[in-house]
C-alpha cells in the first residue's frame, strides 16, 4: 500500500514540474512579446495603412426622345500592368517584359508598340500603386495566353471595363460629344466643384474619363456614376498585405439621359445635308467635273412651341468611337484641321454665317414698328405701302469724298432688270433687295439719332435672340454679331477696321438691311429667331434634354420649356411678315423647289437667303416652319445653311423641303443602327441558295 502512495506522489511531482516548466515558458513568451517586441509590433501596425483603389462606374446611357439608345456601354477586355510589381524588377527585366507584352498584344490583333507602353506607365495620370491600362478591347484569346504564362508577364492582368458604344455610328456625333481621359485642369475644377456634403461620391482620379464635348460634357454630373472603391492594407514599403473587402463598395452606374431629338429626323437631316452638298459639288454626276466647292454646312430643326431641339446636323462629321480607346495626336489634328474643314467643329452652334435675305423678316418687323411703310413714312414712295424696284439703287447719301462703303451702287440680283413696285408682303416673297435698300438708307439711316444713333434694326434683331447665345445645353456656343456703331468703333480700336472717325455710314445700314456686312449668326440662332415668328412672339432657350432617369429607374427629372418671355413686337406685324413668308414656297423664290408639296393641307412659311462672302462662293440659306394653320400650332422649324453652295433656293431649300415633306406626310424613314445596316448589307450580297436558284 505504501508503495502505491509513493508512486502516486512521484507522478504528481512530475506533472507539477512539467506544468511549472510550461507556465514558465508561457509567461516568458508573454513577457517577451509585451516587453521586448511590443515596440516592434507597434511600429509594424502603424506602418500598415489603408489605401483606396477606385473603380470607375459605367456612365449612364444616352437615348433619343422615343427611348432609342444612342450611346451605350459594353464590357471589353483590357490588358493592365501593375506598377507596384514593376518596382521589384530591374531595368533590363522591365524592358524585356515590355517587349514581350507589346509582341503578345500586337499578335492578338491590337498593334501596340513598346514606346506606347512606356509612355502610359510614365504618364502623370497614374500613381506608384496604380494598375495602368495598356491596351483596351483586346481579343479574349489574349486572356488565356497571358494567364498561362504568369512567370513571363509579372504584374500583367486582363480585366474587364466598360467603354462607350454608338449603336447608330456617327449619327448625332456633334450633339452627343465624346469622352476622354481627364486632364489636370479638369481634375482640379471638377473636384473643387463637388460639394463636401457628397463625401466625394463622384470625385475624379487622373485615370478617369470625362465628357469633353456635346451633352457628354454638359450632363457630365448626371451621366457619371459613383466610383466603386476597394481598400488595401499597404505596408511602409508599398507592399499590399491584404484587401479589406468588408469596407469595399461596388460602383454605381450613372443616370440615363433622354434627349429631345428624334433619331429618325436626325438621320435624314444628316443624309439630306450630305447629299445636297455632294450634288452641288458635282451636278453632272461625272467624276472629276466638280466645279463648286460646297465643303460644309448645317441643318437645325426645333419645336417652335417648346424650344426643344429635334435635330442638329453638321457636315463634315466625325466618329466618336475613335475616342474610345484614346485618339492619337495626329488623328485629333486631322479633325481640327481647317484645310480638312474641321470635322469636329459643330457648325450648328460654333460657326457664324452671314444671313443674307433670311434676315429680311426681322428688318421688316423693325420697319413696321418704325412706320416706314405707312402714310407718315419719310420714304415718299412708301407712303402708300409700296416701293419701286428698278433693279439698281444708288445711295442718296453718296458724296464725292464718300469713303465708307465699297460702292454707292447696289443691285438686286433676286429681281429681273426693269421696274416694278412691291408692298412688304410681296417684297419678302420675291426677296426684293432694292425694297430693303431703300428702307435702310432712306428710313433707318435717316432716323434722328441720339448719342449712339438710331439702331432700330439691331434692337429688333436682339429681341429675337441674335447677338446672344441660345443657351442650348451643348458647350462652346458662339453668340454671333449684331453690328452697331459701338461694335465698329471697338473694331477700329482693335485694329480690325481702317476707317477713322464715325465708323457707321449709310452703306453699313443698307448692307445690314439685307443681312450682309458685319452681321453674323449661327444656324441655331436663325432657327430660334424663326421659331419666335412661328409661335407668335415668344423666345425660348434651346433644350436638348428631355429628362434624366436614375440607373434604377426610381427617380425621374423632367426638363420643361425655358421661355424668356414674350417679345416686344406687334402681333399684327408678325402676321404681315408671315404672309410674305407663306408666299415664298407658293409663288416666290422657293416655288420651284416646293412644286408637288402638299401646301394646301400643310402650308409652309419660308425664306431663302444667299449670303455673299468675300473671296468665296455664296452661302446658301433657307429657313422655314409649318404647318401654318389657324387651328393648329406649327410643329417644326428647320434651317439649312450650306457653305459655298450658291443661291438659297438651289441648295439649302431642297434639303428643308425634303425634311418637311417627310414630316407632313408621316413618311420619315426609321433610322438604322450600325448592326442593322450591316445585316441588311450582308443579306443583300448573300449568295443565292442552290435549291432556290434551281426553282
Q: What angle do CA 549, 550, 554 make, to 5 degrees?
A: 95
Q: Which residues contact 657 (CB under 8 A, 6 or more apart)?
A: 585, 590, 593, 594, 597
Query: How do residues 63-115 score in pLDDT, each as one tens digit?
Result: 999 999 999 999 888 888 888 788 778 888 888 888 999 999 888 888 888 88
Contact 158, 145 (CB under 8 A): no
CA-CA distance, 306 to 321, in Å (whole number)?
A: 32
Compute the average pLDDT of residues 674-684. 86
CA-CA distance, 650 to 63, in Å (whole number)?
A: 35
**Predicted pLDDT of residue 506:** 87
Q: Which residues contact 694 (CB under 8 A, 6 or more apart)?
A: none
Q: What is the pTM of this model?
A: 0.85
CA-CA distance, 85 to 119, in Å (whole number)?
A: 17
Residue 199 has pLDDT above 70, yes or no: no
Please give the distance of CA 523 from its chain centroid, rounded to a whole number: 14
CA-CA distance, 597 to 266, in Å (whole number)?
A: 21
Side-chain half-sphere CA neighbours of 43 within 13 A: 6
CA-CA distance, 15 to 594, in Å (whole number)?
A: 115
Which residues on adjacent β-strands are paired with residue 257?
Answer: 62, 548
**Predicted pLDDT of residue 391:** 84
Q: Is 671 helix (H, G, I), strand (E, B) or coil?
A: coil
Q: Is 338 helix (H, G, I), strand (E, B) or coil?
A: helix
Calculate the alpha carbon distances from 644 to 147, 467, 607, 614 in Å: 58, 23, 18, 11
Q: Which residues contact 387 (CB under 8 A, 6 or more apart)?
A: 379, 381, 421, 422, 427, 432, 434, 435, 438, 439
- Ordered by where they begin, the domains of the chain are 51-259 (3.90.1310.10), 356-664 (3.40.710.10)
* Confidence band of 196 (pLDDT split at 50, 70, 90): very low
Name the percent of the chain in helix, strand, coil, to the closest 5: 40, 20, 40
Residue 162 has pLDDT above 80, yes or no: yes
Query: How do residues 11-39 score in pLDDT, each as one tens digit?
Result: 677 666 676 777 666 766 665 556 555 55
Contact 357, 515 (CB under 8 A): yes
**Predicted pLDDT of residue 284:** 66
Q: Is 342 helix (H, G, I), strand (E, B) or coil?
A: coil
Query: How do residues 294-316 score in pLDDT, each as one tens digit?
Result: 999 999 999 999 999 999 999 99
Amino acid at each position: 500500500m505504501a508503495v502505491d502512495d509513493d508512486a502516486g506522489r512521484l507522478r504528481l511531482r512530475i506533472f507539477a514540474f512539467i506544468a511549472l516548466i510550461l507556465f514558465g515558458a508561457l509567461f516568458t513568451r508573454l513577457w517577451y512579446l509585451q516587453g521586448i517586441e511590443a515596440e516592434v509590433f507597434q511600429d509594424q501596425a502603424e506602418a500598415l495603412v489603408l489605401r483606396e483603389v477606385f473603380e470607375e462606374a459605367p456612365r449612364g446611357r444616352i437615348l433619343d426622345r422615343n427611348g432609342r439608345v444612342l450611346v451605350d456601354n459594353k464590357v471589353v477586355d483590357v490588358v493592365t500592368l501593375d506598377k507596384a510589381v514593376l518596382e521589384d524588377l530591374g531595368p533590363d527585366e522591365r524592358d524585356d517584359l515590355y517587349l514581350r507584352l507589346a509582341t503578345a498584344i500586337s499578335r492578338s490583333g491590337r498593334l501596340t508598340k513598346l514606346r506606347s507602353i512606356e509612355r502610359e506607365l510614365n504618364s502623370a495620370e497614374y500613381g506608384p500603386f496604380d494598375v495602368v491600362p495598356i491596351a483596351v478591347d483586346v481579343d479574349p484569346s489574349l486572356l488565356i495566353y497571358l494567364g498561362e504564362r504568369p512567370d513571363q508577364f509579372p504584374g500583367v492582368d486582363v480585366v474587364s471595363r466598360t467603354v462607350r458604344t454608338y449603336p447608330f455610328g456617327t449619327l448625332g456625333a456633334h450633339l452627343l460629344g465624346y469622352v476622354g481621359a481627364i486632364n489636370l485642369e479638369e481634375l482640379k475644377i471638377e473636384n473643387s466643384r463637388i460639394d463636401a456634403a457628397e463625401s466625394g461620391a463622384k470625385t475624379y482620379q487622373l485615370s478617369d474619363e470625362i465628357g469633353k464635348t456635346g451633352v457628354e460634357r454638359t450632363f457630365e454630373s448626371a451621366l457619371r456614376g459613383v466610383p466603386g472603391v476597394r481598400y488595401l492594407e499597404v505596408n511602409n514599403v508599398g507592399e499590399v498585405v491584404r484587401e479589406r473587402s468588408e469596407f469595399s463598395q461596388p460602383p454605381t452606374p450613372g443616370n440615363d439621359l433622354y434627349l429631345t431629338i428624334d433619331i429618325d429626323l436626325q438621320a435624314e437631316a444628316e443624309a439630306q445635308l450630305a447629299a445636297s452638298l455632294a450634288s452641288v459639288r458635282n451636278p453632272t454626276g461625272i467624276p472629276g467635273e466638280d466645279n463648286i466647292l460646297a465643303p460644309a454646312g448645317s441643318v437645325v430643326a426645333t419645336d417652335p412651341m417648346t424650344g426643344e431641339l429635334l435635330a442638329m446636323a453638321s457636315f463634315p462629321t466625325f466618329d466618336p468611337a475613335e475616342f474610345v480607346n484614346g485618339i492619337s495626336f495626329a488623328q485629333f489634328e486631322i479633325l481640327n484641321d481647317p484645310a480638312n474643314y474641321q470635322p469636329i467643329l459643330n457648325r450648328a452652334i460654333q460657326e457664324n454665317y452671314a444671313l443674307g435675305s433670311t434676315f429680311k423678316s426681322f428688318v421688316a418687323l423693325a420697319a413696321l414698328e418704325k412706320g416706314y411703310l405707312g402714310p407718315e413714312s419719310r420714304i415718299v414712295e412708301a407712303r402708300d405701302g409700296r416701293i419701286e424696284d428698278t433693279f439698281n439703287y444708288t445711295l442718296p447719301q453718296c458724296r464725292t469724298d464718300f469713303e465708307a462703303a465699297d460702292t454707292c451702287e447696289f443691285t438686286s440680283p433676286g429681281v429681273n432688270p426693269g421696274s416694278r413696285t412691291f408692298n412688304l408682303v410681296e417684297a419678302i416673297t420675291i426677296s426684293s433687295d432694292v425694297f430693303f435698300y431703300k428702307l435702310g438708307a432712306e428710313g433707318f439711316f435717316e432716323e434722328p439719332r441720339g448719342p449712339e444713333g438710331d439702331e432700330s434694326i439691331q434692337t429688333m434683331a436682339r429681341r429675337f435672340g441674335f447677338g446672344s447665345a441660345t443657351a442650348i445645353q451643348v458647350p462652346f456656343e458662339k453668340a454671333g454679331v449684331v453690328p452697331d456703331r459701338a461694335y465698329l468703333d471697338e473694331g477700329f480700336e482693335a485694329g480690325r477696321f481702317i476707317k477713322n472717325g464715325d465708323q457707321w455710314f449709310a452703306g453699313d445700314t443698307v448692307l445690314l438691311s439685307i443681312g450682309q456686312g458685319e452681321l453674323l449668326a449661327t444656324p441655331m440662332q436663325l432657327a430660334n429667331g424663326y421659331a419666335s415668328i412661328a409661335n407668335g412672339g415668344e423666345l425660348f432657350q434651346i433644350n436638348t434634354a428631355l429628362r434624366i432617369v436614375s440607373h434604377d429607374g426610381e427617380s425621374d427629372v423632367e426638363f420643361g420649356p425655358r421661355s424668356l418671355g414674350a417679345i416686344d413686337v406687334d402681333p399684327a406685324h408678325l402676321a404681315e411678315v408671315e404672309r410674305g413668308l407663306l408666299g415664298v414656297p407658293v409663288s416666290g423664290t422657293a416655288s420651284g423647289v416646293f412644286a408637288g408639296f402638299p401646301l394646301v393641307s400643310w402650308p409652309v412659311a419660308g425664306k431663302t437667303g444667299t449670303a455673299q462672302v468675300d473671296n468665296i462662293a455664296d452661302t446658301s440659306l433657307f429657313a422655314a416652319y409649318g404647318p401654318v394653320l389657324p387651328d393648329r400650332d406649327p410643329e417644326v422649324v428647320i434651317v439649312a445653311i450650306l457653305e459655298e453652295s450658291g443661291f438659297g433656293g438651289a441648295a439649302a431649300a431642297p434639303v428643308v423641303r425634303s425634311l418637311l415633306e417627310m414630316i407632313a406626310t408621316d413618311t420619315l424613314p426609321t433610322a438604322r443602327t450600325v448592326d442593322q445596316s450591316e445585316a441588311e448589307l450582308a443579306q443583300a450580297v448573300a449568295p443565292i441558295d442552290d435549291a432556290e436558284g434551281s426553282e
